[in-house]
Amino acid sequence: MTPRETTILTHLLLLFQHLLPLALSLLQPPQHPPVHVPTLVPHAPTPLTHSRFSATAQLDLTTRCNSSCFHRAEQEPREQLTDKLAFETLYADGFRTLTTVEVEVEEDGDALRPPPWRRTRAKHGRVKRQIYGADGRFNIQGDDFLMDYPFSTAVRISTGCTGVLVSQRHVLTAAHCVHDGRDYVHGAQKLRVGFLIPPSINGTKTGLVPNKKPLVRWVRVKRTRVPKGWIQGPQEVSMDFDYALLELRWPHRRPFMRLSVAPSSDDLAGNRIHFSGFDSDRPGELVYRFCPVEEESSDLIYQHCDARPGASGSGVYGRVWDNALERWERKVIGIFSGHQWLEIDGENRDYNVAVRITPLKFAQICYWVHGNRLDCIPD
């Protein structure tokens, strides 16, 4: 595809993004009762030893899952789920703490019981890992597009991953971008978040410098939080808790994307998810893609969105119904993790995977962002 064709396709894609709200206004909102979000009650933090920062950042996370691990969360005792919601806090000087929590739920405990696995679409043969058939990714170029919402919410992580802005000071990313399940990665000691600056805003006239790449403004991270469900010691790493929250030293002034409990794919507008990231095979470029949900478990979203290493940590969003605003809104419903071989019912399936934001994870991440329970009630 020529650069001109790519530019035309990108413009058509952006036009589609702007016209989509009008089409969505004709859709009926999902007819379901409000999702109950449990309350996370944290205990006093316990000091831990300083991190050694001995791990190596892994940008291409690949796991395997069989029927036993696929349905694990559906049978997990409440005590184990609560234990996995405990979290470590890493500070810029290497000091870290462990915070255990209690979970307050309604008597029936439905918030702790995730929905069962379901198949949503016919399967497709594996073509090439992480790229399925024709490459469906789009480079986002030009000042207007790079600074346009929702693309402006994507940021770079200095360890080589992507993140998404979820408040004026917080970035959601994948846990494996900062921690390998045993220790923090070497680059997490001086972790930074990169904001794209289009060339013209930086004082360069793009018309005189063809294909000029955007620059990056780096901001230091004040503290990092990782769920204990990811920090498993010698056990097999699972994608179920592959998320982390970074708090910036200074607030940014860009729009951010709000979080939402991930609905069933049937309640996503168009049954589609979207995300933008910094794929390693397109250095210096922000890459956008979208695709339908193929399968979903209690903790993961399985799909064939084209992606390469570096896209890990991208905020996966969909258009979900906002009860307060009474309209469809883009909201982060998951975090792109990587790739998984799924062995179910005698079939070996191949997917790219996002961690879905469950009610429990929403309560945890929301507490990390706001520091209190009152602001963690979903729409």
DSSP string computed for 52-101: ---B---SS-EEEEEHHHHTHHHH--HHHHHHHT-EEEEETTS-EEEE-E
With a cut of 80, say whether residue 144 has pLDDT above it: no
Q: Which CATH architecture has domain 35-103+135-200+212-370?
A: Beta Barrel (2.40)
pLDDT digits (tens, 9 = 90+) for 294-348: 999 889 999 999 999 999 999 999 999 988 888 899 999 999 999 998 887 778 8
Average pLDDT over residues 126-144: 69
pLDDT digits (tens, 9 = 90+) for 30-86: 766 677 888 889 999 999 999 999 999 888 888 888 877 777 766 677 778 889 999
Average pLDDT over residues 175-197: 94
Lowest mean pLDDT across 124-138, 240-254, 259-273, 354-368: 124-138
With a cut of 80, say whether residue 106 has pLDDT above it: no
For residues 318 and 11, the answer to whether their CB atoms sit within 8 Å is: no
- Residue in the block written with tokens 């699972």: 238
What pLDDT is stored for residue 305 in this prediction?
94
pLDDT digits (tens, 9 = 90+) for 243-283: 999 999 999 989 999 999 999 998 998 899 999 999 999 99
